[in-house]
Structure 1
Amino acid sequence: IYTAGTKRDQSKIVFGEAGLMLQGSPLRMKFKVTRDCIKHLKSNSTIKPLSKDDGKSGDGTNPALLVLDEYHQHKTTEFYDLGIGSNTKEPLLMIITTAGMDLTYPCYVTEYQYCSKVLDPNTDVENDEYLIDICEMDPEDYEDISNLDNEETWKKANPIRMTYPEGVDKIRGEYKIAREQPEHMTAFLTKCLDVWVQAKENGYMDMSKWKACQVNELPFDITGHPVYVGFDMSAKTDLTSVAFMIPFLSGEYDANRKEIVKYILWSHSFIPTREKLQEHIIKDKVAYDAWERMGFLEVTNTPIVDQGAVMRYVLETCEKMKLKIQCLCFDPANASKLMMDLSDEGYDVEEVFQSHKHLNEATQGFKEQVFCRNIIYTYNPLLNYAMSNAVIRQNNGLIKIDKDATKKRIDPVDATLCAYKLAMFHTFGDDYGDYINNFIEEILKDSTEN
């Protein structure tokens, strides 16, 4: 049996509790308890805490039971993978954690998302080998911070502590401090109410708002719609991303009776070689290989980024869906020649310079659209990862995404803002009105026939 935290001291917390349970127990004489090991004398079975290095070199440990403590702090799946490799008769993996403050770590990106799907009766995901207990607040309980005054909602995340006076008083005291000192509110939300919070200095996106825009499938057939394509072309050997932005009239109206424009978004990324793919896996500690298998990332198998392959993907995608390309939007830094060639072929090509002046409106506007749930996208872990990495830089009251402030990838976000920069000014002409009218007629026809 192994216990694992991010550091050896944390690994020893669960280990230490196991030792304390034996004190005063009639089973105590059957065990030998030392600082770093609890041994069952008859079978030589052991409980040991793992160190950080054990995660990197622990293949072959073959645990019967692996306990991961505070998994939200684990930057990689190294310890988790030890459990996958177990070859014992009935291996067991236990994960103990509160919510956390980095939504790019595997606990949130993979485990929490998967467990949520298993618990959701509206999905087809089933797994009878998982026993899942997630005690957390509902979004409506904390989206408006004033709702936190309702202590009844605290019971959702604290089903035991809220049953006795000392437990209630402890949470109440922590809330009073967090309310009067906002710097402590993030810790209160994650530790006391089990709310996932992206706590990044100058972070661009509220990831709970971003996730609320995700849908399982697009609300309608996008065939024939206008599309704006944004590009973030890398410097030869890095990640390259494209984003497709489709504006459409939603049929919903604001307070001024103006029809609300919404935007469908998806992105795709490219990397030149498998060596670069592996290099990024090691450096960024995220599953680029899995994202490639899922179809969100493509290896072009060329020494440098194949801009031709990127354009073929864009044009073939638009042709397949009969999308009407309104504009191809580039940062000219790494794409001047490509832009010139595309312009000569008759495409509308626009330069989007990476400056505060040129990107402030798009950066502010896109975030506002997310907060209003006017952005619609389907699941894309690479895009989600990039969005959670994005931080902003301010200059004279203007903002833009700061590429130099983070070593983590934000290329899909840059491509997205490039596309939105032009899509936000889209005008809907008669052809779009005809399309919508035909779409409505088809619906009415189907409903009449049925």
Structure 2
Amino acid sequence: MTTLEDHIKNSTSFTGNLREQLIEYCNRILDGRIIACTKHKWACQRFLNDLSKENTKEFPYVFSENEGQRAINWLQEFKHSKGELAGTKIKAHIFIKFVLGNVYGWINVNTGYRRFEKMYEQVGRKNAKSQTLASMATYELAPYGVLGSEVYCLAPVSKQAKAVFNEACNMIRGHRILRRKYKIRESTHEILHRKSNSTMTLFTKEDLKKGDSYNPQLAVIDEYHLFDTSEAVDTMESGMGARYNPLIAIITTAGRKVFCPCKEEYDYCSKVINPYITVNDDKYFIVICEVEEKEDPFDLLNLIKANPVVSTYETGLNKLKEKLKTAIERADKRLEYFTKQCNKWVNQKAKNAYMNMEKWSKCEAEKIPDLKGITCVVGLDKSDKIDLTSLTFEFDLGNDMVLVLNHCFIPEDTLEDKMKTDKVPYDLWIEQGYITKIPGAKIKDEYIIEHVLEEKKKLGFVLDSVAYDPWHCSDVAESFENEGILTIEIPQTYASLSEPTKDFRAKVYDGEVIHDGNPVLNYCMSNAVEDKDRKENIKLWKEKQGNERIDAAVSTVISHVRMMAILENSDKDILYSPDN
């Protein structure tokens, strides 16, 4: 087993030319001498595979050491602007050499242009992301050799966008020759290279709404996980049509919203570099460093997998250890630790979240048990036009276990607008069968009733009752009663909902709930926050700002109001076991 000391030594000692260094780096990653995650290993294996087939009919690319080294040399022209190394010359870490060497070293033999038109780098915080981006931005302004180059540095908010811009300014100011060749305009957040008539400009997502035309040579997308839509990438890609050798560079950490364009990009990139999946995208450079799903995030040897740079020098390693220690001792710091240090995607609200989504995800069952003859309560949360209408089917499996399944409805006329405002893939969830699209602009009761009756017939469960939120539900409740089904009105008050809301969560945390991984229910559960009264009674709520939906979580609590009464009178027969 590789020790921490071995990892540091093997990450910092390389000789030979760039090709030789990168080959040795990849071999050390793959044979375990450098501790790395699976996706980092995939990126290294991809590089070695590409070298073995370069300049062939099927693979018209060659690795140019000169071009790759040139970009690295440019970075090393500058001095560190922060920390204990401030004022000293930058010496590129082997991981940074791997990134820049790939992005700038691979050349299309037919065109002479670079191979990669897009890059995605996801690593933990403080792994030289801003320094790397600033180097790339200033390189594309002049040394790369494109006259009239336009470089855009984009981030969701001005403060984040300024991180790269300010780093670029500091690097230029610290160079005694280059500071005379570039002009910095702080008031307009621009850096100009006079001789080539090239400009670097800072942008936020608000600037994109102005509708200006863009013609980027390089578009830097920093902390993409904070963007609500893919507008930044889409706008830059559409503006690159007139450029012959453009590049989009996305560098980010993981985030706490899994329904976002960055997570979609991460999922796609994971498939591209996966050697066991055939998704070919030869023009996309990808490297991902993370603590993996089933690994202990509080093990330092796992943590360094997400931190290929900061884990290899004393000050950075000590900072990682401090972050790890704090996360162990303070639960309120773990969300930040998981996303920023471990680089793990976490589907969790930062404040007042109702459900711990890690514990919720552990309740997902590989197989749903046979439900024939099992008692079921249906919870109904009905909307008129705006929200989802949700049905939760909660089953008493015995042995204090319950199963929850969910199905939602959405009006067809509002679907397109809802996808734009809510920024989630309703169309995909419809295709997967988790949501029913209802013709027209309103929810029609007959679709709800028909679905419940069809599920009852298909699964063979015993329908105890339909519990419902009285808002908008008087007609559909009457229709259920006409079918001979017991209906129970559940007032949406603290008195009615507090205990069931707390009890359902407690059952999740105790492993007494199973579900099928329904993405709509997962989405709603992750959005739900606690709303407390002065007596510490709770019910579910959603944040006032934003368009996140909680309807499936609400219908689940509604069903659980009735299910609690059933469980209290249960004979405790063991009908379910995870081993069955």
User: TM-score, structure 2 length as denominator?
Assistant: 0.60
The alpha-carbon deviation at position 240 of structure 1 amounts to 1.4
The AA in structure 2 aligned to 1:13 is A
Q: Which residue of 1 is the match for residue 560 of structure 2?
A: 420
Paired residues of 2:401 and 2:513 also in contact (CA < 8 A): no
Give me the identity figure in percent: 33
Q: Which of the residues 487, 503, 510 maps onto 1:349?
A: 487
Listed one character per residue, the Cα deviations across residues 72-119 of structure 1 (whole Å, up to 9, x for unaligned) are: 2223322132355454667654322223345554434x3445556667
TM-superposed deviation, 1:180: 6.8
Alpha-carbon distance change, 219 to 237 in structure 1, aligned in 2, over 3 angstroms: closer
Partner of 1:56: 209
Contact 1:331 1:353 in 2 (8 A): yes
Q: Give the conservation status (yes or no) of the 8 Å contact 1:19–1:33.
A: no
Residue deviations 1:254-281 (CA, integer Å, cap 9, x gap): xxxxx46241x3322223352x334434
**TM-fit CA distance, 1:196:** 4.4
Q: Report whether the alignment pairs 1:203 with 2:358.
A: no
2:550 matched residue in structure 1: 410
For 2:549, what is the secondary structure of its paired residue? coil
Report the CA distance between 1:136 and its aligned residue. Answer: 2.6
Alignment match, 1:66:
219
Q: 1:204 deviation in Å?
A: 0.1
How far apart are the structure 1 equivalents of 2:496 and 2:173?
67
Give the letter aligned to residue 296 of structure 2.
D
**How far off its partner does 1:184 sit?**
4.7
Instruction: Give the conservation status (yes or no) of the 8 Å contact 1:366–1:417.
Output: yes
Deviation at 1:344, TM superposition (A): 2.6
1:327 aligned residue (465, 468, 481): 465
Matched residue type, 1:49:
L
2: CA distance between counterparts of 1:362 and 1:116? Answer: 40
Query: Is the CA contact 2:524–2:553 (under 8 Å) kept in the aligned structure 1?
Result: yes
Shift of 1:171: 2.6
**Matches of 1:225 and 1:164, distance apart in 2:** 59
Please give the alpha-carbon distance, in whole angstroms, between the structure 2 residues aligned to 1:222 and 1:83: 51
Report whether the alignment pairs 1:81 with 2:220. no
CA drift of 1:26 comes to 13
Q: Once structures 1 and 2 are overlaid, which stretch shifts more, 85-94 or 298-307?
A: 85-94
Alpha-carbon offset, residue 379 of structure 1: 4.3
Cα distance in 1 between the residues matched to 2:422 and 2:279? 31
Q: CA deviation at 1:231?
A: 0.8
1:165 aligns to 2:314 (yes or no): yes
Residue 301 of structure 1: CA displacement?
A: 2.9
CA distance in 1, matches of 2:435, 2:194: 49
- Tell me the CA shift for residue 63 of structure 1: 4.5
Find the counterpart in structure 2 of residue 212 from structure 1. Answer: 362
* Alignment-derived partner of residue 146 in structure 2: none
Which whole-Å CA distance do the structure 1 matches of 2:250 and 2:364 have between them? 27
> Does 1:365 find its partner at 2:503?
yes
Count of aligned positions: 415
Q: Secondary structure at the match of 1:332?
A: coil
Q: Which amino acid aligns with 2:221?
A: L
Gaps of 5+ in 1: 143-147, 250-258, 441-450
Q: Mean alpha-carbon deviation: is it higher for 299-308 or for 183-192? A: 183-192
The Cα offsets for residues 283-326 of structure 1, whole Å up to 9 and x where unpaired, read as 44444455445544344233432122222233234334444433
The answer as to whether partners of 2:438 and 2:444 remain within 8 angstroms in 1 is yes
| CA distance 1:37–1:430, shift in 2 (3 Å) | closer
Rounded to whole Å, the distance in 2 between the matches of 1:375 and 1:346 is 29
Separation in 1 of the partners of 2:483 and 2:556? Answer: 24
Does structure 1 conserve the Cα–Cα contact (< 8 Å) formed by 2:335 and 2:350?
A: no
**Distance in 1 between residues matched to 2:561 and 2:178, nearest whole Å:** 68
For residues 304 and 572 of structure 2, the distance between their equivalents in structure 1, rounded to whole angstroms, comes to: 54
Distance between the aligned counterparts of 1:428 and 1:119, measured in 2?
Answer: 51
Three-state SS of the structure 1 residue aligned to 2:471 is: helix
Output the CA distance in 1 between the equivalents of 2:551 and 2:227: 24
* C-alpha deviation, 1:162, in angstroms: 1.9
Matches within 5 A, 1:6-405: 6-15=156-165, 17=167, 34-35=184-185, 36-37=190-191, 47-57=200-210, 61=214, 63=216, 65-83=218-236, 85=238, 87=241, 92-103=247-258, 105-108=260-263, 110-115=264-269, 126=279, 128-129=281-282, 131-136=286-291, 138=293, 141-142=296-297, 148=298, 150-175=299-324, 184-196=333-345, 198-214=348-364, 218-220=367-369, 226-235=375-384, 237-248=386-397, 259=399, 261-263=401-403, 265-274=404-413, 276-395=414-533, 396-402=535-541
2:158 and 2:432 map into 1 onto residues whose CA distance is 35
Aligned to 2:296, the other structure's residue is in SS state helix
Paired with 1:315 and 1:299, the residues of 2 have a C-alpha distance of 18
| 8 A Cα contact 1:104 1:388, kept in partner | no
Amino acid at match of 1:352: I
Q: In structure 2, what residue type is equivalent to 1:95?
A: I
Q: Determine the C-alpha separation between the residues in 2 that align with 1:374 and 1:125.
A: 39
Contact 1:58 1:82 in 2 (8 A): no
Mapped contact 1:101–1:199 kept (Cα < 8 A): yes
Structure 2 letter corresponding to 1:420: H
- 1:346 match: secondary structure: coil
How far apart, CA to CA, are the structure 2 residues paired with 1:431 and 1:171? 49
Task: Return the alpha-carbon distance in structure 2 between the equivalents of residues 406 and 9 of structure 1.
Answer: 21
Larger radius of gyration: 2
The 8 Å contact of residues 103 and 388 in structure 1, kept in 2 or not, is answered as: no
Quote how far apart the aligned CAs of 1:167 are.
1.2
Asked if the contact 1:137/1:154 (under 8 Å) is kept, the reply is no
Residues 362 and 421 of structure 1 are in contact (CA less than 8 Å); yes or no, is this contact kept in structure 2? yes
| Cα pair distance change 1:174/1:376, threshold 3 Å | closer
Whether the aligned pair in 2 keeps the contact of 1:237 and 1:303 (CA below 8 Å) is: no
Amino acid at match of 1:401: L
1:413, distance to aligned residue in structure 2 (A):
0.7
2:361–2:517 Cα contact (<8 Å) kept: no
Following superposition, the deviation at residue 233 of structure 1 comes to: 0.9
**2: distance between equivalents of 1:79 and 1:362?**
43
Gaps of 5+ in 2: 1-150
Q: 1:240 to 1:91 in 2, by over 3 A?
A: farther
- The change in CA–CA distance for 1:378 and 1:182 in structure 2 (over 3 A counts) is closer
| Deviation per residue, 1:123-165 (Å, 9 max, x gap) | 96845555241323655524xxxxx3x5334322223222221
1:227 positional shift: 3.5
Distance 1:406 1:370 in 2: 28
Distance of aligned partners of 1:82 and 1:173 in 2 relative to their CA distance in 1, 3 Å threshold? same
Other-structure match for 2:138: none
Partner SS, residue 360 of structure 2: helix
Q: Distance in 2 between matches of 1:391 and 1:134?
A: 31
